[in-house]
Amino acid sequence: MADRRGMLCPRLAQHKGHVMAQWKTLGAGVALSALMGTTAAFADVTATDVWKRWSDTAVSMGQQVSVGSERREGNTLVLRDLVFSQATPEGGYSANVPELRLRERGDGSVEVTVAPEIPMQINATPTEGPATDMAVVMRTKDMRTIVAGTPEAMSYAITAPKIVLEGDAADAAAAGSAGAGGVPVKFLVTMTGNEGAYTVDGADVQMIDGKFTTDAIDFTLSGADAEAGSTFTAKGGTEDLSLTGKTRMPKGVDMQDMAAALAAGFSSTGAITYGKTGYVMDFSDAEGTGNIKSSADSATLDFSVSGDGLSYAGQGTGTQVEITAPTMPFPVSFAMQQAAFKFAMPVAKRDMAQDFGLKLDFSGVTISEALWGMFDPTAQLPRDPARLLVDITGKAKLVADFFDATAMQSGAAPGEIEAVKLTAMQLNVAGADLSGTGDVTVDNSGAAPKPVGAVNLRLVGGNTLIDKLVAMGLLPDDQAMGARMMLGLFAVPSGEDTLTSTIEFRADGGIYANGQRLQ
C-alpha cells in the first residue's frame, strides 16, 4: 500500500517507529513514576519512611531523583518541585512533579496525592533514523493512593477516575528550525475508570504482585508533513483493559544491566487483556484522500522473563480492516477470526540445551468480494476462509547471555541449535491444503551443522488449484507444467488429488525425497 499512498505512508511508517520507541520510554519511566513510583515503594506507616522507600526504589531502577523542598505540614509530608529523570543510550525522559503530598491518616496508612498536572519530556535517540523529542503533560483529577501494611508486607490501592496524556512529538532536527523535514504529531489519550491494587512483600528480595484496570481508553492522533503536503488524523479507543503482573526484584539489582539482573534472580511475568478496540484514520496527500478503519473484538498478551528464558504470547479475535486509497478503484477489506502467536527463547548462557519455540496461527482469514473479483470475477476459486499455522519447538545452547550487548555485537554466533521439531504446519487457501510435521536433530561437531531427521508433507487439492489458475489465465501453461514436474520430483500420489512427501536428512549428509537422493 505504500506506493499507493504517496509520500505520507513512508513518513508515517518511519514516524511510527519513533513514536513506538518514545512510548516504550514513556512506559518504562512515566508509568513507573506515576503509578509504581507513587505507590509500590511505599511500605511504612509514616510519611517519611514512605518517601524514603519510594526514592530508594526509584534510584535502584536507574532513575535520578531531585527535590526542590521538603517540609512538614501537620500530619502531611509535602515535597515540591520534584524531578525524576533517566537517560539511556536509546533516549531518556524527565518528569517534573510540582507537588507530592503524603498524609498520615492516623490508622497506620498513608494517603498519597500528586499535583493534578505533571509535565514530562521524552526523547528517543535510535541508532538508525533521526532523534525524536516528545513533550507530554499528564493530568489527573481526584487521583489518590492509600498505602497500608508493614515494611515487610506492603499493600496499596490506586483510584483515578480520569488520566489524560496530551503531547507533541517531532524530529529533534525539526524542533529548532522550520522546514527541517520533521513530521510533528499531536496526541491525546484519555483513560477513565482506573483502579489498581498492589502488594509489595520482602526487603532483600521484593515480590511485587499487582493488577490495574481501566474501563476505557480513547485517543486522537494527528500529524502533518508540510514538505510532502500530506496530513493524517486518527481516532480510536479500547474497552475493559486489564493488566496483571508479578515481579521478583533482588535488592541492589541494576535494571540497566539486564543480564546481571537475571543472573541475580530478577524475574517478571504479566498479562494484558482488553475488549473491543478500533480506530479510524483519515489521510491525504498529493494524490487525494484515503481512509483506514480497523476493529477487533478482544485481545490478550502474556509475557515472562527470567533466567530460564523469555516468552511472549498473544491472541486477537474478530479483526476487521477496510482501506480506501485515492489510487484504488474501490475499498479493500479483509477479516480474521483469530490471530495468535507464541515465542519463547533462552536468554542465559548455560552448559545444557534450553527450549525455544515459535507458533503463528492466523485462521478464518477472508477478503472482500470486490477484491476477489479483481482476479477471479467468475468465482472459480473457493472463497473458504484461509489459514496459516506454523508451530516449531526445539533445543538450543547459548554460549553468551542474550542481554549481553558486547557479546551480541561481537559478530560471533551466540549459540547453536541442537534440535528442531515441526509440531504442526498448515496452509489452507483457495481449496488447497498443505500440512506437515517434522523432527530433526543437529550435529554440531563438524565444521558446519549437519541436520539428521525427516519432514513429512501432505498436499490436498494442489492439482485442482493449478488447473483453475490456468483456466483463469493467471498461470501460463509452461509454468503450470514446471510446477507439476516439481511436485512429481518431490512427492508421490496417495489418493485423489493428494500428494505426500518425506524429506530425509541422513547421517551421511545426503538429502532424500521419498527415498531418492537429491543431494
Read out DSSP for 319-365?
EEEEEE-TT-SS-EEEEEEEEEEEEEE--S--SS-EEEEEEEEEEEE
Task: Decide: residue 180, CB within 10 A, 0-12 exposed, 13-18 middle, 19+ buried.
Answer: middle
The alpha helices in 7-165, defined as continuous H runs, are: 8-31, 47-60
Q: Collapse the DSSP code of 439 into the 3-class scheme (helix H, G, I; strand E, B; otherwise coil) and give the result.
A: strand
To which H or E segment does residue 165 belong? strand 153-171
pLDDT of 67-80, one tens digit each? 999 999 999 999 99
**Residue 182 confidence (pLDDT):** 53
Q: Are 50 and 110 in contact (CB under 8 A)?
A: yes
E-strand ranges in 202-276 read: 205-225, 230-250, 267-274
**Residue 343 confidence (pLDDT):** 97
Quote the pTM value. 0.81
Tell me the angle at which helices 477-490 and 462-471 cross, rounded to the nearest 10 degrees.
170
66: left (phi over 0), alpha (psi -120 to 50) or beta: beta
Maximum Cα–Cα distance across the chain: 90
Q: Phi and psi dihedrals of 261, rounded to 5?
A: -65, -45
Q: Are 65 and 82 in contact (CB under 8 A)?
A: yes
> Residue by residue, what is the 3-state secondary structure of 470-510?
HHCCCCCHHHHHHHHHHHHHHCEECCCCEEEEEEEECCCCC
pLDDT tens for the chain, residues 1 to 519: 434 333 333 333 344 344 333 433 433 343 334 333 344 334 346 898 788 877 877 887 788 999 999 999 999 999 999 999 998 878 899 999 999 999 999 998 999 999 999 999 998 887 777 778 889 999 999 999 998 887 677 788 999 999 999 998 865 444 443 333 456 889 999 999 999 998 878 777 888 899 999 999 999 999 888 777 889 999 999 999 999 999 998 888 888 789 999 999 999 999 999 999 999 999 998 889 999 999 999 999 999 999 999 999 999 999 999 999 998 888 999 999 999 999 999 999 998 999 999 999 999 999 999 899 888 998 999 999 999 999 999 999 998 899 888 877 777 788 899 999 999 999 999 999 999 999 999 998 888 899 999 999 999 999 999 999 999 988 999 999 999 998 888 899 998 999 999 999 999 889 999 998 887
**Residue 180 confidence (pLDDT):** 38
The alpha carbon of 122 is separated from its chain's Cα centroid by a whole number of angstroms, namely 20
Q: Collapse the DSSP code of 192 into the 3-class scheme (helix H, G, I; strand E, B; otherwise coil) and give the result.
A: strand
